[in-house]
């Protein structure tokens, strides 16, 4: 499975390492606004990017969203719209309105 990680802080770096350590998963890309954080989590084989749009353009089966809470919905929605599965760190969002993207799981057959 090809996986990308958004947000390479405490949690995102752990997620990225777990993906890299698992022979059944491939870390494709890591996105963080801090280039050094993205690069460190990406390791030698994955792409490190600072822009969400470029990150989401990569061919991936699933995206792990580990960015700050107020940015969860943008990353989750972008991944779902591209047909990717999503693992989002809790809580999903600040408001009920911001989690309205979960309705996309029905027509796209993808999961949050
Ligand atoms: N730390 C925990 O114990 C814990 C537990 C449960 C859930 N969470 C959740 O996990 C998420 C991440 O928490 P954390 O502790 O790793 O935070 P963190 O502050 O350590 O990491 C967040 C990362 O996101 C990056 N970032 C900021 N803006 C960005 C953007 N526009 N695009 C991409 N990356 C961006 C930051 O540079 C930073 O590296 C949060 O939503 C938090 O609520 C954390």
The sign of the dihedral angle between the CA atoms of 35, 78, 62, 96 is positive
What's the pLDDT at 107? 59
Residue 62 C-alpha to ligand 1 middle, in angstroms? 18
Question: CA 2, CA 47: separation in Å to the nearest integer?
Answer: 12
Q: Is the CB of 9 under 6 A from ligand 1?
A: yes
What's the pLDDT at 78? 93
Q: Where are the domains of the chain?
A: 2-108
For the chain, residues with pLDDT lower than 70 are 101-112
Q: Which CATH class is domain 2-108?
A: alpha beta
pTM: 0.93
Nearest-CA residue for atom 44 of ligand 1: 11
What's the pLDDT at 99? 76
């Amino acid at each position: 499975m090809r996986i990308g990680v958004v947000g390479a802080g405490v949690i995102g770096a752990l997620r990225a390492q777990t993906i890299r350590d698992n022979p059944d998963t491939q870390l494709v890309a890591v996105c963080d606004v801090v280039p050094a954080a993205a690069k460190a989590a990406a390791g030698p084989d994955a792409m490190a990017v600072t822009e969400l749009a470029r990150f989401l353009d990569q061919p991936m089966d699933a995206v792990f969203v580990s960015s700050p809470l107020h940015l969860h919905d943008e990353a989750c929605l972008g991944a779902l719209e591209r047909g990717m599965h999503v693992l989002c760190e809790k809580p999903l969002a600040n408001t009920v309105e911001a989690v309205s993207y979960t309705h996309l799981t029905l027509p796209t057959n993808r999961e949050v």
